[in-house]
Amino acid sequence: MLKIFNTLTRKKDIFQSIKKNKVGIYVCGVTVYDLCHLGHARTFLVFDMIIRYLKYCNYEVNYVRNITDIDDKIIFKSIQKKENFIDFSNRMILEMNKDLSMINLIQPNAEPKVSNCISNIINMISKLIGKGYAYIGKSGDVFFSVKKYTNYGQISNQTIQNLQSKNSFYSDLSVKNNFEDFVLWKLIKEKNEPYWFSPWGKGRPGWHIECSAITEKYLGYKFDIHGGGIDLLFPHHENEVAQNSCYNKDFCVSYWIHAGLLIINNSKMSKSLENSLFLKNILKKFDGDEIRFFFLSAHYRSPLEYFEEKIKKSKESFKKIRSAVLFFNSSSCSSYTNFFSISIEEEKHFHNAMENDFNTPKALSVLFSIVRKINIFKKNKDPKNVFLYSFKLKELSKILGFFTKKSMSLYKEKINKKKLKENKKIKDIHLLIKLRNKARKNKNWDLSDLLKKKLLKFGVVIEDKSYKDLE
RNA sequence: GACGCGUUGGCAGAUUGGUUAUGCAUCGGAUUGCAAAUCCGAACAACUCGGUUCGAUUCCGGGAUGCGUCUCCA
């Protein structure tokens, strides 16, 4: 029985899908004003793991993740880079897809761009105005009237009275009726801003309305799971609930799942703090499976502190599992295929861990105990059990998204390259030694010293004894 | 100020009202031509103060402290 921590009820709820064997899930995606950072990677990896597990449990999953390609920061960045706004966001989307594919994420069933959903957004805003939940402010921008929605604060447990106002254009009471009201449609302020036509003038949607319109369009007013980073809980998700509930009174998300944040230098990782680590850069040092292991070795809801030493250590731990799986791949024995239906004790532990709100650290510890058993069976020369447990290890790892075809082939490629490099290095060293010996024989001391220095660069220390050593 | 989540060995990180998490690192041993890998064993733990209890790291309360959110953020 799968239990999931639901932010709405603040406890672990038993999972039950609305439609039998089907799950609709929406995850708030990236605002593409820069490259993907490691924080994005964590959130999407968490939901990737959740979706893989649901699929493993025989659910047909409809996974929707939006791309915010309209946003003040995107506009600002594109102007700064003197790049057309559309070109800039498209370039960032390409980069995002490239980076995310390297950590082997399941592709969403739909990945709508906000710019393709403007008509849905306009419809939703019109209806909200019609119902009296939204109004045109003094500035001409459209605002949501928070006080009209009596359940506001339900998911984030916030009350309007306790909110602190921040200074920005849209927090100014000269443009809207109440400070808690948030913007649904922004009119263009500068000539070079991108815009779309609307009943309220040329402009663009506010941030919160896009997710409401997209979930409505792709998943309807009732769906199973809504996810995102915990930093989106307030105001983003609170506002989404308000918008959708006012748009359709039967709106209901069964489970709200929030991923814990990646912490770096004792604070949340975000670009506004200029401490971001781009996924692209991390991928130069660690592969997809290693990054996956690093994230899954902490519970998905707890904050996770990042520093390089930590991921290096986790890479070392992961080696243990990887080498066992590689050994299995290289020694598969088809005569044991009748073993596939046999179950082992560890599978139960693994499933219990996953069913308990996706306890991946515990599930991983089960993998380690399988590895130990495999090693013992190897030592005891028990090939049947080596095969059985190795097979199970691989199957369970795959549930968590490890050892996909792509990640395996990338890893093999990396290893082969390394081997080639090693071989070349050894050849080079032998050649240099030969040349140096020749130079010494010819008493060409300058060349000999030069070659000695070159050898030192390869880590080879030359200690000459006498000419007798020379060949 | 409000709301939420934390504090577990050297590090990372699960779990639990009583009995080994797990991984890395350390120490001892086994295995091995050497090494790597592996196995066995050892040592090291619950922020603090109260309460409940036969028994609390776990439940309850106070305190300390860290992180997140409060209308741009995965």
**Amino acid A132 CA to nucleotide B49 C1' distance, rounded Å:** 54
Helix (H, G, I), strand (E, B) or coil at A130: helix
Residue A46: what pLDDT?
96
**Amino acid A57 CA to nucleotide B5 C1' distance, rounded Å:** 29
Smallest CA–C1' distance to B68, residue: A231
What is the model's pTM?
Answer: 0.91
Smallest CA–C1' distance to B15, residue: A362
A321: nt with nearest C1' to CA: B23
Q: Which residues pair with A228 in a beta bridge?
A: A258
Residue A158 has pLDDT above 90, yes or no: no
**Amino acid A167 CA to nucleotide B1 C1' distance, rounded Å:** 17
* DSSP single-letter state for residue A336: G
Q: Indicate the Cα dihedral angle A340, A346, A351, A356, nearest 10°.
A: 180
**Amino acid A115 CA to nucleotide B8 C1' distance, rounded Å:** 48
Residue A222: what pLDDT?
96
Polymer length of chain A: 471
Instruction: Count, in order, helices (H) and strands (E) of chain A.
Output: 14, 13
Q: Indicate the Cα dihedral angle A253, A255, A256, A258, nearest 10°.
A: -150
Smallest CA–C1' distance to B73, residue: A270
**Amino acid A381 CA to nucleotide B29 C1' distance, rounded Å:** 22
The alpha carbon of residue A164 and the mean position of all alpha carbons in its chain are separated, in whole angstroms, by: 31
How far apart (Å, rounded) are the C-alpha atoms in residues A102 and A321? Answer: 20
Task: Output the CA torsion sign for A215, A219, A222, A226.
Answer: negative
Q: Which nucleotides of B are covered by protein (CB under 7 A)?
A: 1-6, 11-15, 21-25, 37-40, 66-74
How far apart (Å, rounded) are the C-alpha atoms in residues A386 and A179? Answer: 65
pLDDT band at A167 (very low <50, low <70, confident <90, very high): very low
How far apart (Å, rounded) are the C-alpha atoms in residues A145 and A244? Answer: 13
Specify whether the CB–CB gap between A62 and A197 falls below 8 A. no
How far apart (Å, rounded) are the C-alpha atoms in residues A346 and A88? Answer: 49
Residue A451: what pLDDT?
86
HEC-encoded secondary structure of A313-332: HHHHHHHHHHHHHHHHHHCC
Residue A296: what pLDDT?
96
Residue A125: what pLDDT?
97
A157: nt with nearest C1' to CA: B3
A171: nt with nearest C1' to CA: B71
CA angle A216, A221, A226 (to 5 degrees): 80
Strands (E), A153-284: 182-187, 203-205, 222-229, 252-259, 262-264, 267-268
**Amino acid A274 CA to nucleotide B41 C1' distance, rounded Å:** 48
Helix (H, G, I), strand (E, B) or coil at A141: coil
* DSSP single-letter state for residue A226: E
Residue A145 has pLDDT above 60, yes or no: yes
A28: nt with nearest C1' to CA: B74
Residue A336 CA neighbour count, 13 Å, CB half: 18
Question: What are the residues whose beta carbons fall under 8 Å from the beta carbon of A48, sequence distance 6 or more?
Answer: A104, A105, A106, A401
How far apart (Å, rounded) are the C-alpha atoms in residues A42 and A107? Answer: 16
**Amino acid A107 CA to nucleotide B37 C1' distance, rounded Å:** 37
**Amino acid A167 CA to nucleotide B70 C1' distance, rounded Å:** 13
Q: What is the pLDDT of residues A248-259, one digit of tens each?
A: 999 999 999 999
Residue A80 CA neighbour count, 13 Å, CB half: 8
Average pLDDT, integer, range A176-187: 91
Q: What is the pLDDT of residues A372-420, one digit of tens each?
A: 999 999 999 888 899 999 999 999 999 999 999 999 999 988 888 888 8
**Amino acid A263 CA to nucleotide B73 C1' distance, rounded Å:** 14
A166: nt with nearest C1' to CA: B71
Specify whether the CB–CB gap between A62 and A99 falls below 8 A. no
A294: nt with nearest C1' to CA: B12
Strands (E), A71-221: 134-136, 142-144, 182-187, 203-205
pLDDT band at A468 (very low <50, low <70, confident <90, very high): very low
Residue A166: what pLDDT?
55
The alpha carbon of residue A222 and the mean position of all alpha carbons in its chain are separated, in whole angstroms, by: 25
Tokens, residue A465: 């004894």
What's at A36, amino acid-wise? C
**Amino acid A263 CA to nucleotide B59 C1' distance, rounded Å:** 30
For the complex shown, is ipTM > 0.90? yes
Average pLDDT, integer, range A301-315: 90
Smallest CA–C1' distance to B40, residue: A376
A263: nt with nearest C1' to CA: B67
How far is the CA of A255 from the CAs of A246, A261, A436, in angstroms?
Answer: 19, 19, 71
Specify whether the CB–CB gap between A414 and A304 falls below 8 A. no
Choose the most confident range, by mean pLDDT, from A136-150, A154-168, A260-274, A425-439.
Answer: A136-150
Residue A147 has pLDDT above 80, yes or no: yes
**Amino acid A260 CA to nucleotide B68 C1' distance, rounded Å:** 9
Please tell me the least confidently modeled range out of A170-179, A191-200, A229-238, A300-309: A170-179
The torsion angles phi and psi of A10, rounded to 5 degrees, stand at 60, 35
A153: nt with nearest C1' to CA: B3
Question: What are the residues whose beta carbons fall under 8 Å from the beta carbon of A346, sequence distance 6 or more?
Answer: A366, A369, A370, A373, A392, A396
Q: In terms of pLDDT, which residue wins out, A266 or A386?
A: A386
A233: nt with nearest C1' to CA: B69
How far is the CA of A368 from the CAs of A160, A299, A346, A360, A403, in angstroms?
Answer: 49, 17, 10, 12, 16
